[in-house]
Chains A and B, each alone.
Chain A
Amino acid sequence: MATTVNLNVNGRARKVSVADPQTPLLWVLRENFGLTGTKFGCGTALCGACTVHVNGEPVRSCNLEVSQAAGKRITTIEGLSRDGSHPVQRAWVAEQVPQCGYCQSGQIMSAVALLAKNKSPSDAEIEKAMLGHICACGTYNRVRKAIHAAAATMRKGA
Chain B
Amino acid sequence: MRATVNQGRRHFLKVGAATGGGLVIGFHLPVVAGAAEQAAGPAKLNAYVKVGTDNRVTFVCGQVEMGQGVHNGLAMLVAEELEVDLRNVRIEQGGIDPAFGNPRYIGFKAVGGFQATGGSSSIRNFGTKVRHAGAAARFMLISAGAERMQVLRSECVAENGQVVHKPSGRKVSYGAVANDAARQVAPDQPALKQPSEFRIIGKATPRQDIPLKVTGRAVYGLDVKRPGMLTATVARCPVFGGKVRSFNAEQALKVPGVKKVVQISSGVAVVADSFWAAKKGREALQVTWDEGPMAKVSSPDMYRNWAELAKSSAAAERLKTGDVGAALAGAAKRVEAAYEMPFLAHACMEPMNATAHFKGDSCEIWAPTQAQSWNQHAVAQATGLPPKAITINTTYLGGGFGRRLESDYAVEAAETSRAAGNVPVKVVWTREDDIQHDFYRPASHNLLQAALGADGMPTAWRHRIVGTSILHYFKTFGHFLRKDGHDPTSTQGAGDYFPYDIPNVLVDYINNNPGVPSGFWRSVGNTQNGFILESFVDELAHAAGKDPYQYRRQLFNKPHAARLRGVLDLAAEKAGWGKPLPAGVHRGIAAHFAYGGYCAQVAEVSVARDGRVKVHRVVAAIDSGWVVNPGTVAAQIESGIYYGMNATLYGEITLRNGRVEQANFDSYKMARMDEMPKVEVHILEGKGDQGGAGEPGTPPIAPAVCNAIFAATGKRIRKLPVKPEMLRA
Q: Which residues from chain A sit less than 8 Å from chain B, CB to CB?
A: 1-2, 19-20, 23-24, 27, 30-31, 34-44, 46-47, 49, 76-78, 80-81, 83-84, 89, 92-93, 96-105, 108, 126-127, 130-131, 133-144
Contact = CB atoms under 8 A, between A and B. Distances in A.
B168 interface: no
Give the most central of A20, A31, A43, A138: most B CB within 10 Å. A138
Given A19-B256, A42-B664, A136-B399, 16 more contacts: A36-B225, A40-B428, A43-B664, A44-B664, A46-B665, A46-B666, A47-B431, A76-B216, A84-B215, A97-B210, A102-B398, A134-B672, A136-B349, A137-B639, A141-B638, A141-B678
Interface string B579-617: 000000000000000000000000000000000000000
A47 B430 CA distance: 13
B495 to A, nearest CB: 29
A100 B350 contact: yes
Contacts of A19: 256-257, 274, 277
Contacts of B280: 20
A127 B631 CA distance: 24
B211 interface: yes
B40 to A, nearest CB: 32
Interface string B323-364: 000000000000000000000000111110000000000000
A12 B493 CA distance: 56
A34 B211 CA distance: 19
Contact of A99 (B68, B222, B347): B68
A132 to B, nearest CB: 8
Contact of A138 (B210, B398, B676): B676
Contacts of B209: 98, 101
Interface string B459-498: 0000000000000000000000000000000000000000
B31 interface: no
Nearest to B272: A19
A84 B210 CA distance: 10
Interface of B: 66-69, 206-207, 209-220, 222-223, 225, 231, 256-257, 274-277, 280, 347-351, 396-401, 428, 430-431, 631, 635, 638-639, 641-643, 645, 664-666, 670-674, 676, 678-679
Contacts of A83: 215
B673 A144 contact: yes
Consensus secondary structure, chain B interface: loop
A77 B275 CA distance: 21
A140 B676 contact: yes
B257 A42 contact: no
Contacts of B69: 99
A102 B275 contact: no
Contacts of A137: 67, 399, 639, 642-643
Given A41-B351, A44-B664, A101 B679 contact: no
